[in-house]
Structures are given as structure tokens and as C-alpha cells.
Amino acid sequence: MTALLSTNLGATTLLGRGKVRDLYAVGDALLLLVATDRISAFDHVLATGIPGKGIVLTQMSLFWFELLSELVPNHLITAEVSEYPASLQAYADQLEGRSMLVKRAAMFPVECVVRGYLTGSGWKEYRASSSVCGIALPTGLLDGSRLPEPLYTPSTKGEAGTHDENISYAATEKAVGAADAAELKRLTLAIYKRAAEYAEARGLILADTKFEFGRTGAGIILADEVLTPDSSRFWEAAAWKPGGAQPSFDKQFVRDYLEGINWNKQAPAPGLPDEVVERTQAKYLEAYRRLTEKTLKL
């Protein structure tokens, strides 16, 4: 299949294009999220997409929304294109499998990040200060070590081409109020615990992830995507060995390739060779199969 890099839904109002998703207004109360096959690395959208990636992300989010529904309500109305408004039916080829009709919500201006293992930017900070996001940690931890307890480390929301910046819990309280800050932290840690236990039972480690929440008249809801290889680090539990990079189910092949060609991480972003595209697609599909115990055919 050919990668879908951009959507065009005619007269439907386009609100914006993110690194992966195109967002449309559907009347005053609903939004349409369409996950394209775009892939980003180092805060830039690459010239080459991963065919079917948007379908994998959407189907995995739908799986988790259902599994987590007892913990937190979410924004989903329907993902069945046949149930969308008549004005969208002509665009089914762009929407099938990769879109969600959702409730509008007032989104909180923070990424709710939770880390169960020491890796990535957390590992870099730990080496410099024995802390992560200002939270002191025991000495002697390694790259890939399991943390004594999951850490809630919120960040700002970076637009395309910009980087999310870690912020303190106090800054979150200032941004959204003490009561909402406490509830976002509680929900984030509860969702992580449930998801990590679920993944572990299927031979995967959920090293870290991030969530987005919004508010409707009924209260706080989980929104955007959830627990996908784009927003989370999933590792192979059987191969886990602290002390270096872990075998993962995400876009690591893409990052490794870009580091290997010494890209300066400035626009314009380069394209990817077929081998990197195919291996990355296979990793996304394998993550879906392992977590949902279903096979997704693209």
C-alpha cells in the first residue's frame, strides 16, 4: 500500500495538521482525527511515511480506549466510517481504519508523561544529576533500569518542529489548578499501572508513555492517541538487560538510520530507504499483534 501523507476532505474544515494527525471540525461539538502515515523523528516530519502506520495507531488506540474505559472515560464517539455524517462518506478511502469521530474537549496544556524505566532523556539527566525532572533517584542505576516506582514527569506540548519541555509539578498546578493537577497525576499513574501489567502479561515492558487529557461538561476525559508505539516505549521483556539500549517496538530503526547518515536534524528532513520503512512497519504491526492478540492486515 502507498503511504497516506496528507488528507483532503473537501469542504470539511481543517483545523490543523500535527506531526501525524490531521484534525477537522465536524459541526460545533465534534472533531474528526485522521492518523496519516507521516512519521517524525527529532521533532521533524520526514519526507517518507510508513504505509499503514496511521491505521495501526488508530486501531491500537481503540483497543486501549475500550480496555481502560473503567478507569477513565474517553473522547471516542465512533470509528465506523459508515456512522459518520453524510458529508464525509465520499472520503471513506482516506478515513477507513485510521480515523475517529470524537467529542470536542478543552485540552489541558500539558503532556502527562509517566516513566517506569530509566531511558532516553531521563537517562541523560540522571547521568548528569542523579535525578529525573528534578526528582532525586538512587545512585547506581543503569540505562534501562526499572525505577523504584513510576515517575510522573509532565511536560509542555511541543508543536511540529519544537521539543516538549519538562516542567515541574508545581508548574502544572499553576497552569491548570491544584485539583486538576492532582487528578491528572492520579489518572496518569493509574492508567500506566493497568497498561504495564497488561503488557507484561504479554511479554512486553511498557517503559514510558504519555497521555493527553481534556475536559467536557461531564468531566475529565482521555483524548488523542493512547499507548501506541508513537507515544510509548514498548520493550521485549525476555531481552531486557539494563546497561544499554533495549530491543523496542517503535521507530528506533528510523532514529538509528538518521543518526547513521549524520543528518543535522534541521529542515528539510530526509526520506527513508525501503528497508528502514519495511522494518519499521513490521515493528508497529508486531506491537499491535502482541498487545491485542490480533493480526492487522494492511
| CATH code of the domain made up of 107-256 | 3.30.470.20
Q: Tell me: pLDDT of 283 over 90.
A: yes
What nine digits make up the cell of 175? Answer: 497552569
pLDDT at 163 over 90: no
Q: Identity (one letter) of the amino acid at 3? A: A
Q: With 60 as the cut, is the pLDDT of residue 37 above it?
A: yes
Q: How confident is the model at residue 43 (pLDDT cuts 50, 70, 90)?
A: confident
Average confidence (pLDDT) over 269-287:
96
The domain ranges of the chain are 13-105, 107-256
Confidence of residue 165 (pLDDT cuts 50, 70, 90): confident
CA-to-CA distance for 188 and 151, rounded, in angstroms?
A: 10
**pLDDT, position 196:** 98
Average pLDDT over residues 153-159: 80
pLDDT top residue among 237 and 158: 237
CB neighbourhood size of 255 (10 A): 12
Q: Are 64 and 195 in contact (CB under 8 A)?
A: yes
Which ranges of the chain does DSSP label H, i.e. alpha helix? 53-67, 92-95, 120-129, 169-176, 178-200, 252-260, 274-292
Q: Whose grid coordinates read 508513537?
A: 230
Q: Angle at the Cα of 53 (from 51 to 55), degrees rounded to 5? A: 110
pLDDT value for 100: 98
What is the fold of 13-105? Phosphorylase Kinase; domain 1 (3.30.200)
Q: β-strands 99-103, 135-136: how paired? A: unpaired
Residue 250 or 46, more confident: 46
In the predicted structure, residue 114 carries a pLDDT above the cut 70:
yes
| pLDDT of res. 162 | 53
Contacts made by residues 227-231, CB under 8 angstroms, sequence distance 24+: 227/60, 227/61, 227/64, 227/195, 228/56, 228/57, 228/60, 228/61, 229/56, 229/57, 229/60, 229/283, 229/284, 229/287, 230/20, 230/57
Percent of the chain with pLDDT over 70: 98
pLDDT of residue 161: 46
The model's pTM: 0.94
Average pLDDT value over all residues in the chain: 95
Render pLDDT for 208-251 as a digit per residue (tens, 0 to 9).
999 999 999 999 999 999 999 999 999 999 999 999 999 999 88
Residue 113, phi then psi, degrees to nearest 5: -100, 140
